[in-house]
Amino acid sequence: MAASRPPATFISDLRPSRMATLEATVSQLEPVREFEARDGLKKRVRNGRLKDATGEIALVLWGNEVDLVGEGDLVRIVEGWVSDFRGRPQVSLGRAGKLERLARTESPGKI
């Protein structure tokens, strides 16, 4: 029996305060930043952009997620969380999301 795939959503259809499953290319990644959280622990965060045929959206990776992908990688995010940050939608893995790299680009660069 073939494994079932969750339904994918296009970036143009993403709306804040909803979960989404999507496939897109990592079109941009900023350097990893460290900061001190309210609990005094150091945390890591990395911002980037995801792109598909319908548009682009901001991507936020936290903690160990920052090392999972590179620029140019094709990824699937399952049950990611879409939020509104300063009036713009962004996607992160949230509490339940999973990120899977579908294809890796040999030479990262602009897409």
Q: Provide the residue ranges of all domains of the chain, joining segments of one domain with +.
A: 11-103
Residue reference for tokens 């602009």: 110
Question: Which fold, 11-103?
Answer: OB fold (Dihydrolipoamide Acetyltransferase, E2P) (2.40.50)
How far the first Cα of the chain sits from its last, in Å, is 36
CA dihedral sign, ordered 75, 79, 85, 88: positive
CB atoms within 10 A of CB 79: 14
Q: Quick check: helix, strand or coil at residue 28?
A: strand
- Tens digit of pLDDT at every position of the chain (111 positions): 555 566 678 999 999 999 999 999 999 999 999 999 899 999 999 999 999 999 999 999 999 999 999 999 999 999 999 999 999 999 999 989 999 999 887 654 443
**Residues facing residue 87 across a β-bridge:** none
Closest CA to 73 of 20, 31, 27, 39: 27
pTM as predicted:
0.84
